[in-house]
Structure 1
Amino acid sequence: MALPTDLVDRVVRIDARLRPIAERPVDTTAPDWHIRTRERPRPLDEAGVRGEAEAALRALLARYEHGDDEDRAAVRALLDRCSSFRWATHLPYGRTPDGFRQQLLHLSARNHDGDTRDELLTLHDLSAEAREAGVDIRPLLLEVAELSSAEDKYGMGSIRRMLLGAAG
């Protein structure tokens, strides 16, 4: 089963709106560059696409979670192709089992997000927050690992291996 054309078109359209923001140069030689960067509106708000982008991401993650291997591969490929959408679009994190599962599904669908090291740090932080909130993370890590790619994109292990390793 392929991803619905209207969903793919929405993500591609949102990605195009976000690209100029994602690719905007940052002058790190300016003394207050980090302050100005922090004070800018969030990319989804600046582009005026927050509601549409979050709805599209929810639809992608639902397809990723409930679809078959072909659906999951299609979601990973779309997010790989639409890197500005992938960079800017995230869901709020509720410190609940379902919130943790959604964050794991998103991490899995991003499939390394261009840098496995960053994803390892993200996984570590998400897991620590969930444990602090009393979430039993092991079954959720194992559940999402089963849906995850076994591809070792950058020589640091696959997302599946990362999740299984975090589950212990």
Structure 2
Amino acid sequence: MEQLTGIEEQVALVDAAARLIAERPVDVTDPNWQATMRQRPAPLDEAGVRDQAESALRSVIAVYEYGDEALRAAIRALFSRYTSFRWAAHLPVEATAEGLRMRVLHMSAVDQGADTRDELVALHCVCAQAQEAGIDIRPILREVAELSSRDDKYGMGSMRDILLRAAR
């Protein structure tokens, strides 16, 4: 667990910077609220922490991928604690098998986040993009499923179950 200490410090810094943006009120009564949101820079750019966030996220995913179950559980807990980091930090989209693998590992580590439905939509989009690029998603989903949580957090199946269903 010592290898998480430095990474958690990076995650905490990004989380604090992103929190101000993540928790900023949005006036949905303003008829132009959506246009206003689209005109803003991406949250990590606005906070000035994109490089730190991507570096921390890549480190977290590497530890998750190669760690044992206890370490993976600690990574899942990290995403539960640092919700603004979880919301803001994402890897760039790469239309390759390795790009898909990294994104699915990230989803596995997030372990359904705050709402399984959001993760299901994201997984569907990621898989559709990969299939359009000619990538066979099934072996990647099965591989990552074996690293994923078996806890059914919200009554829609565990992350492992979700990935295995998507691999059919």
Structure 2: distance between partners of 1:92 and 1:33:
26
Alignment of 1:115-130 (within 5 A): 115-130=115-130
Dislocated runs of 4+, deviation >4 Å: none
User: Does 2:50 align with 1:50?
Assistant: yes
Q: Is the 8 A contact 1:11 1:85 kept in 2?
A: yes
Q: Is the 8 A contact 1:116 1:154 kept in 2?
A: yes
Give the % identical residues: 57
Structure 2: distance between partners of 1:4 and 1:160:
23
CA apart distance, 1:3: 3.8
Q: Is the 8 A contact 1:3 1:75 kept in 2?
A: no
Gaps of 5+ in 2: none
| Number of equivalenced pairs | 168
Q: 2:90 is matched with which residue?
A: 90
Please, what TM-score do these two structures have when normalized by structure 2? 0.98
CA apart distance, 1:25: 0.4
Please, what TM-score do these two structures have when normalized by structure 1? 0.98
Alignment of 1:1-168 (within 5 A): 1-168=1-168
Gaps of 5+ in 1: none
- 1:99-135 alpha-carbon deviations (Å, 9 max, x no partner): 0000100110111111101111111111111111010
Structure 1: distance between partners of 2:32 and 2:3:
43
Structure 2: distance between partners of 1:15 and 1:6:
14
- 1:126-162 alpha-carbon deviations (Å, 9 max, x no partner): 1111111010111000000000001111111111000
CA apart distance, 1:2: 4.2
Instruction: Give the letter aligned to residue 136 of structure 1.
Output: D
Structure 1: distance between partners of 2:6 and 2:128:
37
